[in-house]
Structure 1
């Protein structure tokens, strides 16, 4: 049965919870700069994630670990200035919340005050429960993140699917329920079996956003640069490319270079 889409003028954490209750799927994409965020927001995306994936796609690092809190604030500030409708969620980067709950709160306050972001996202479950509680107690909305947690890549040693075994799957479900219970407004599930993701989504009342977690969840998130084909080396099963900008941009830039060399650009109509 199709569900009528409500016209949300401004997306809030409550909007997302209402969407889940009404059976309306939630769209989420990353953005890291003003120009791209303006396009994403104008296109009608519900949630913009200023992800620590900026470490990969913007800075060229192999993992998300090197990006700093200052750099995340810079990216988030650029995005917030572009956005009229979408909810802007900002990743807390590696090292800014794992050590203790006071550090987690300080990092979250800096993001909210200095970037203007609307919420923060943390990776992990029971091991960071105290940090999440402290952030929530300060009135800062928190989005959880379970399953594959890229900041723990050196612990896992691989980006393979998580929670395939019963014990890990049960712990993930318990962590999801804990995140809902302590007050998180939404949850990202990354790269876990689709049946488990659907079970989690049906077991909690807060929205579950999936990436590589099947269609049984409440919404989907992708990295913008992957989805529009600016990056081309990364091709996991869950990624659908809606454009091939790498090819189109390479061709256009190559043509510009050739036109400059041949003195075709600028022509008589392109100068004063």
Structure 2
């Protein structure tokens, strides 16, 4: 990632949750794959992200890692897997590296998160620091709202980003931050910045695959963009399948396995012999 920042080249991140999607994303050239805790909502049906567990996240990180190819896999650490202590953070981050085969981890950085970032970094684990809107602590932020809209909060974002860079974060992810502030943050850093709703001036743009593909319809964030409507296409396909089953059009001859005529003839003879033996 550092080379992209140094050379002024843009790159992409995509939040994915399974092996087939990871393979497709990697083949499409997506450089970084984030296994986001958004899967709590987009895959598992929870109302928010805080419900997902470390074990559930590990399950999906393993699947994505198997399909990622040369794309970097970043594991999103879920609520209370790192906030309790730097030691807990290191141990759980290590699980995502050892068991999940991730290349890096990400944590949402609230107040005084620099020691946790430093502990994970000092353990030899690459770490992305997430600032701006941090959904795991949205209650403390007044809800799912844009962050950095005042002078004081904008200055804090810049200071926090610098602190997390100095603590060892190799990239800073900003979510729901005004584009002008994100530009100031990006210009102030030596490490790459990743935008999830932080405008065009970051080094990397990230989106959630379920939004990109039109698979999640509960809401679409302002910063997102649909590139397909797969939920509609899937619905049509499943309706057609159901109609064919009900009407007897499926399975057709080409969907069935058959037997050679001589086997069928021998089977008929044997069945006749059995039936005759019972009489």
Q: TM-score, normalised by structure 2?
A: 0.90
Which of these residues, 49, 62, 80, is aligned with residue 77 of structure 1? 62
Which of these residues, 154, 177, 180, is aligned with residue 165 of structure 2? 180
1:62 has 2:35 as partner: no
1:254 Cα deviation after fit:
0.6
Residues 126 and 178, structure 1, Cα contact 8 Å, conserved in 2: no
> What's 1:151 paired with?
136
> What's 1:29 paired with?
14
SS at 1:215 equivalent = coil
CA-to-partner distance for each residue in 1:7-63, whole Å, 9 max, x for gaps?
xxxxxxxxx110111111010001111111111111110000011111111111111
1:142 has 2:131 as partner: no
Q: Distance in 1 between matches of 2:53 and 2:80?
A: 8
1:266 has 2:251 as partner: yes
- Please list every run of 5 or more consecutive structure 1 residues that lacks an aligned counterpart in the other structure: 1-15
Which of these residues, 149, 152, 157, is aligned with residue 167 of structure 1? 152
- Please list every run of 5 or more consecutive structure 2 residues that lacks an aligned counterpart in the other structure: 258-279
Residues 110 and 134, structure 2, Cα contact 8 Å, conserved in 1: no
1:112 has 2:97 as partner: yes
Q: Distance in 2 between matches of 1:103 and 1:227?
A: 34
SS at 2:248 equivalent = coil
Q: Distance in 2 between matches of 1:126 and 1:150?
A: 14
When the two chains are superposed, the root-mean-square deviation of aligned CA atoms in Å is 1.0
1:156 Cα deviation after fit:
2.3
Number of matched residues?
Answer: 257
Q: Distance in 1 between matches of 2:89 and 2:128?
A: 14
SS at 2:108 equivalent = coil
Residues 125 and 175, structure 1, Cα contact 8 Å, conserved in 2: no
> What's 1:3 paired with?
none
1:95 has 2:80 as partner: yes
> What's 2:112 paired with?
127
1:157 Cα deviation after fit:
3.5
SS at 1:135 equivalent = helix
Q: Distance in 2 between matches of 1:208 and 1:72?
A: 24
1:100 Cα deviation after fit:
1.0
1:212 has 2:197 as partner: yes
Q: Distance in 1 between matches of 2:184 and 2:97?
A: 32
1:233 Cα deviation after fit:
2.6
Residues 104 and 128, structure 2, Cα contact 8 Å, conserved in 1: yes
1:126 Cα deviation after fit:
4.7
Residues 229 and 245, structure 1, Cα contact 8 Å, conserved in 2: yes
Moved over 3 A (4+): none
